[in-house]
């Protein structure tokens, strides 16, 4: 093994790859654009949709209530709603989204309120339609307020203080620091993307450097040089590994910028309750830089494993196309454990710590939440390194087998 020769192969392969548009797309453009598009794009669309729905003055129908002019007057003077006269096909109109909701006022409502008979009001809405639900919520709030007023008035009439109905209040208080909340909610997402991009970043270069070389007839040229096959495979491996790490690094950087910029953008854009609505649609991601670096560090041996496995598999293929058929299904193998790790209840144990991908995903989730189980961290890093070295050894063995290099 010669470090100089590995370096010569590495330098050439990197130069060659960087001149290829397909590599630039898979290694640079996709990781860079994925998050702005996902985070800002979807976040923006979601918050816009919510904002528009919130701003809308819903068209509401009132059925009956002709004998309750006081209630009708209150409803009609409320500028939160736009009332239309009741029509018998109001259900169909709600379904057709011509009307957002309707209020069924019981007969003699005003009178019942005066003499204290309990009554029931129905609000008709279309479940699943955001605009209809929002209108129904607004109507419910309106009636809640009205009920509170009525209760207050009745209590006053009997000279009873209003707070008799509220002997105490209850409120939930969050004690988890923001980064731990992020770990539990979004923490699983960061390692998931890091792992996925480590894989996709390595995919194209691995195929290009092996099956691609076979297809283009340059492999035999390379093999005619005095450099040992081990040096060649290590130079190629380092190239694929670099692409994988670069892809993950760019993705993390882009993710950081997208979320930071995205949150600022949504927080200053509007005021009042709408801001809360908008920033709720925009995921909060307050993960420390050290946690992200720790995740990247844990992903390194995994990235090595991916690079070596992809290299070995694509080396076996005769053509680029054949390599693609072998490699594409592997993406599922990567996605499944990463997704499983995000499911509630999947915990880091001595057994899961030995499962590649899943273990890295689980430990990264903990790291993002600020939990450092050093025993597991060491064990997972070590195990991943062992798997990676084994995969590199397999790639070297395959590269020395002429039936693999010259498969007919």
Partner 1 sequence: MIEAQELSKVFSGTRKMPEIQAVRGVSFRCESGQIYGLLGTNGAGKTTTLRLLATILYPTSGTARVAGYDIVDDPEKVRARVGFLSTATALYRRLTAREMVEYFGRLNGLDGERLKQAVDGLFTALEMHDFAKRSCEDLSTGMKQKVSIARTLVHDPEVMIFDEPTLGLDVMTSRVIVNFIRQCRDRGKTVIFSTHVMSEVEKLCDRIGIIHNGRLLAEGALAELRGRYPGSDLEDIFVHVVGGDTV
Interface with partner 1 by CB under 8 A: which residues?
A: 5, 8-9, 12, 15-16, 19-20, 216-218, 220-228, 402-403, 406, 408
CB of 236 to partner 1, least distance (A): 13
Q: What is the DSSP letter of 226?
A: S
Of 237 and 376, the one with the shorter C-beta distance to partner 1 is 237
Of 22 and 152, the one with the shorter C-beta distance to partner 1 is 22
Ramachandran class of 66: left when φ > 0, alpha when ψ lies in -120 to 50, beta otherwise: alpha
Of 225 and 331, the one with the shorter C-beta distance to partner 1 is 225
Of 209 and 357, the one with the shorter C-beta distance to partner 1 is 209
CB of 279 to partner 1, least distance (A): 46
Q: Which tokens sit at 380?
A: 């997972």
Q: Which residue has the tokens 């709603």?
A: 81
Of 9 and 99, the one with the shorter C-beta distance to partner 1 is 9
Q: What is the DSSP letter of 369?
A: T
Of 170 and 408, the one with the shorter C-beta distance to partner 1 is 408
Angle, vertex CA 8, rays to CA 7 and CA 10, nearest 5: 60
Rounded-to-integer distance, Cα 34 and Cα 372, Å:
29
CB of 402 to partner 1, least distance (A): 6
Q: How many H helices and E strands in the chain? A: 20, 4
CB of 213 to partner 1, least distance (A): 9
Q: 400, 230 in Cβ contact below 8 A?
A: yes
CB of 363 to partner 1, least distance (A): 39
CB of 226 to partner 1, least distance (A): 4
Rounded-to-integer distance, Cα 340 and Cα 346, Å:
7
Q: Which residue has the tokens 């950087």?
A: 253
Of 13 and 366, the one with the shorter C-beta distance to partner 1 is 13
Of 17 and 348, the one with the shorter C-beta distance to partner 1 is 17
C-alpha pair distances (Å), 12 with each of 6, 16, 51, 205, 223: 10, 6, 53, 13, 15
CB of 397 to partner 1, least distance (A): 15
Of 216 and 321, the one with the shorter C-beta distance to partner 1 is 216
Q: 136, 125 in Cβ contact below 8 A?
A: yes
CB of 201 to partner 1, least distance (A): 19
CB of 319 to partner 1, least distance (A): 14
Q: What are phi and psi of 258, to 5 degrees?
A: -60, -45
Q: 71, 143 in Cβ contact below 8 A?
A: no
In the chain the first and final C-alpha atoms are separated, in Å, by 29
> In a 10 Å sphere around its CB, with 0-12 CB exposed, 13-18 middle and 19+ buried, how is residue 223 labelled?
middle
Q: 307, 237 in Cβ contact below 8 A?
A: yes
Positive or negative, the CA dihedral 374, 378, 379, 384 is positive
């Amino acid at each position: 093994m010669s470090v100089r020769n590995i370096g010569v192969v590495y330098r050439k392969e990197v130069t060659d790859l960087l001149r290829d548009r397909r590599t630039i797309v898979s290694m640079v453009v996709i990781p860079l654009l994925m998050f702005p598009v996902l985070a800002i794009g979807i976040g923006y669309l979601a918050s816009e949709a919510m904002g528009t729905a919130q701003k809308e003055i819903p068209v509401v129908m009132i059925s009956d209530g002709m004998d309750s002019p006081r209630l009708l007057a209150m409803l009609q003077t409320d500028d939160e709603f736009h009332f239309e006269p009741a029509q018998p096909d109001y259900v169909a109109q709600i379904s057709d989204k011509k009307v957002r909701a309707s209020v069924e006022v019981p007969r003699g409502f005003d009178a019942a309120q005066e003499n204290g008979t309990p009554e029931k009001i129905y609000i008709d809405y279309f479940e699943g339609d955001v605009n209809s639900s929002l209108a129904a919520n607004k109507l419910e709030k309106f009636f809640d307020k009205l009920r509170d007023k009525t209760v207050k008035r009745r209590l006053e009439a009997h000279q009873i203080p209003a707070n008799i109905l509220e002997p105490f209040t209850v409120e939930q208080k969050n004690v988890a620091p923001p980064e731990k909340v992020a770990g539990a909610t979004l923490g699983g997402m960061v390692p998931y993307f890091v792992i996925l991009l480590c894989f996709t970043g390595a995919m194209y270069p691995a195929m290009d450097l092996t099956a691609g070389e076979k297809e283009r007839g340059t492999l035999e040229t390379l093999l005619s040089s005095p450099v040992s096959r081990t040096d060649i495979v290590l130079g190629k491996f380092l190239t694929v590994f670099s692409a994988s790490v670069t892809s993950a690094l760019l993705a993390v950087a882009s993710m950081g910028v997208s979320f930071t910029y995205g949150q600022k953008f949504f927080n200053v854009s509007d005021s009042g309750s709408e801001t809360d609505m908008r920033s709720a649609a925009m995921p909060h991601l307050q993960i420390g830089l050290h946690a992200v670096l720790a995740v990247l560090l844990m992903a390194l041996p995994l990235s090595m494993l991916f690079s070596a496995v992809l290299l070995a598999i694509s080396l076996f293929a005769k053509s680029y196309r054949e390599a693609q058929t072998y490699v594409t299904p592997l993406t599922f193998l990567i996605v499944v454990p990463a997704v499983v790790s995000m499911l509630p209840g999947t915990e880091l144990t001595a057994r899961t710590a030995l499962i590649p991908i899943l273990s890295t995903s689980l430990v990264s989730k903990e790291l993002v939440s600020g939990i450092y189980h050093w025993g597991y961290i060491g064990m997972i890093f070590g195990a991943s390194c062992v798997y990676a070295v084994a995969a590199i050894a397999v790639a070297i063995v395959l590269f020395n087998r002429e039936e693999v290099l010259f498969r007919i």
